[in-house]
Structure 1
């Protein structure tokens, strides 16, 4: 029997602290039903299995909770399945291949070290803007290679794309969809290709159009993959990491003493505070999910952030422990739809954290403000004082 839970996914209380509700969803069963007929899944093992089975839990009908956005997403990397997804991912992932990321490592490392030196010398700064936004808004947006007017809009477009995935009728989707429309119109402008920065990722995509490898429509859908997910997710992941380390000074000291734990610290922060709470899938046939029958055509919200705190998988799941092995967290998704830019995000976060451990003895939070967002979780402001 399916449990019905009367949950408002966009209430101020849930946006501020979703984890008690996520636990209620896990405890209700492998799948529960929310208002509006949407199903939700929050257990780690069930999520991992579902995300591995793209033929049953399909992305090609969109991953949002409203059909307007699902129609807009159609044919993108995020909203497609093999064989289309395989080809799209291969093209969009070229600049993110290991060899090309290795070539970026030194630039990212040097930029991170210079940034941390500057911020540390100030003593007080905003970790959500001055620190977390710097690499995405300088190096990454430069790599994408949009014209200046498009580059200036990337943060607004990214926030809107994720907010527009909220349920039909929500204020988040209603306010975000016109901004997404602006982005789509900008990308579709016939004059845009000639304005792209030569050698950038966007220009490289257009070269694939000229070579007959992809169509103009595919170029536009793939460009969205560079404009939306490449900024906010990494920015929020970094601010969440800083917040956790500041809240747990004993963990920060342990990390300074043992910098080899940096990869584990990053994964543990991603597990505990996932920057993306979840996306949906459409069930392509009747299914039995861990003993619960769900009919074909059901839309299921995959709550990555709930699975990341599943006590069935992680002992004492609400505890931040930088020695925990959290490599199987779901914050980047899983299987074929794992975030294309995950390795770039990890490279950026590693560079910043390495520089911080060398330069900063302690981190104190002076002021914090969580961002008001339907899908993403992070900070709009996180003012800190550091002791060097």
Structure 2
């Protein structure tokens, strides 16, 4: 069976400004399509995207999870030992990180992170009007995460710039990439230095990665790359996750009222908001063999772009997918990926979102938009640059 060809460029600025407007066409064209502008196969339906993410043997990550094929061109920076690695290397690196970013570790930091959330909400309640991206989505993770990882205090703003550049690099070398790379020139050097053992505070997660590296047969340089991956996974996606969650509640005020009536639903809020408007829009894989997808053959060595956000709104999988609904069973959404490469920072993101909500729920009666949301174009993320909101005290 031939593969439908579409003249769709997922890195065109019009597409990146409003990806959801194009997702139905991608899903309806077929289980697998050929995107002519980037000469790449694509999947946008939930069933195929989820299956590909779960089959790391057929759809490998070691050749890059962006458009570039690392077997044919050099990556812009040393590949991630988690996101861009396959077993058996991935088994070792993920095993180490699961020891560091563990449930026990999160329980230990929870009291401090909770206190910081309440302090920040105190300030926001005094203001009533604020930017939910810069003054909450960015501000809260930066209050807790860098200290936990143990990076130096001076220059921490580099983390935001660096993370945005990392996700831009998964696309082509377009104007968005060039602008992000130029903006992150200083940040790249700062992050490289911050990941060294001598730069990390004793007792921190970053120091623990270095301390455990020898047990997993990893070098000092590899330990630095793992700290770098932790910084990438725990900043920009969390920043945007909190921002999108606030946008969801402002757009669906009845869901905020429901949450206030049933605070236990807080644990569902981030997952449903990421299903509704996925922070990470796409990731790529490379086929290790010729693979049949519903009668169509993708040749060995082909790049395949997986539209996570399109899968998360696939009406074949979700009822009324465009609605944000806290009562929805979100199990199976791919906002954090799926399979062995599921997002390392997802437990961090969930805890931060839960603590922010715990501070907001008893004290905020309503969340309203106070201006138009402004998107920040990124080759991989559906990111918010600004979200003016007003909160009404309970």
Per the normalisation by structure 2, the TM-score is 0.92
For structure 1, which segment, 100-109 or 198-207, has the greater mean C-alpha deviation from structure 2 after superposition? 198-207
Query: How many Å apart are 1:154 and its aligned residue?
Result: 0.8
2:77 pairs, out of 68, 72, 77, with 72
Q: Does 1:304 align with 2:308?
A: yes
Alpha-carbon distance between aligned partners in 2 of 1:133 and 1:373, rounded to the nearest angstrom: 16
- 1:337 aligned residue: 341
Structure 2: segments with no counterpart, 5+ residues: none
Residues 56 and 283 in structure 1, CA contact (< 8 A), matched pair in contact too:
yes
Query: How many Å apart are 1:73 and its aligned residue?
Result: 4.6
Query: How many Å apart are 1:38 and its aligned residue?
Result: 1.1
Alpha-carbon distance between aligned partners in 1 of 2:235 and 2:120, rounded to the nearest angstrom: 18
- 1:377 aligned residue: 382
Deviations 1:145-194 (A, max 9, x none): 12234533111110100011112x31223334466676565565599432
Alpha-carbon distance between aligned partners in 2 of 1:86 and 1:191, rounded to the nearest angstrom: 21
For structure 1, which segment, 5-14 or 131-140, has the greater mean C-alpha deviation from structure 2 after superposition? 5-14
Query: Measured at CA, do residues 280 and 69 of structure 1 come closer, stay the same or move farther in structure 2, by a change above 3 Å?
Result: farther
- 1:81 aligned residue: 86
Query: Measured at CA, do residues 218 and 192 of structure 1 come closer, stay the same or move farther in structure 2, by a change above 3 Å?
Result: closer
Query: How many Å apart are 1:8 and its aligned residue?
Result: 2.2
Query: Measured at CA, do residues 191 and 313 of structure 1 come closer, stay the same or move farther in structure 2, by a change above 3 Å?
Result: closer
- 1:44 aligned residue: 46
- 1:103 aligned residue: 108
- 1:317 aligned residue: 321
1:62 pairs, out of 48, 64, 69, with 64
Query: Measured at CA, do residues 205 and 265 of structure 1 come closer, stay the same or move farther in structure 2, by a change above 3 Å?
Result: closer
How many residue pairs end up in the alignment?
387
Query: In structure 2, the residue corresponding to 1:307 is in which secondary structure?
Result: helix
1:171 pairs, out of 152, 172, 175, with 175
User: RMSD in angstroms over aligned alpha carbons?
Assistant: 2.1
- 2:161 aligned residue: 156
Structure 1: segments with no counterpart, 5+ residues: none
Query: How many Å apart are 1:207 and its aligned residue?
Result: 2.5
Query: How many Å apart are 1:46 and its aligned residue?
Result: 0.9
Query: Measured at CA, do residues 191 and 350 of structure 1 come closer, stay the same or move farther in structure 2, by a change above 3 Å?
Result: closer
Residues 62 and 73 in structure 1, CA contact (< 8 A), matched pair in contact too:
no
- 2:21 aligned residue: 20
- 1:33 aligned residue: 34
Query: Measured at CA, do residues 301 and 286 of structure 1 come closer, stay the same or move farther in structure 2, by a change above 3 Å?
Result: same
Alpha-carbon distance between aligned partners in 2 of 1:127 and 1:191, rounded to the nearest angstrom: 29
Query: In structure 2, the residue corresponding to 1:48 is in which secondary structure?
Result: helix
Residues 100 and 209 in structure 2, CA contact (< 8 A), matched pair in contact too:
no
Alpha-carbon distance between aligned partners in 1 of 2:243 and 2:319, rounded to the nearest angstrom: 25
Residues 155 and 231 in structure 1, CA contact (< 8 A), matched pair in contact too:
yes
Per the normalisation by structure 1, the TM-score is 0.93
Q: Does 1:131 align with 2:133?
A: no
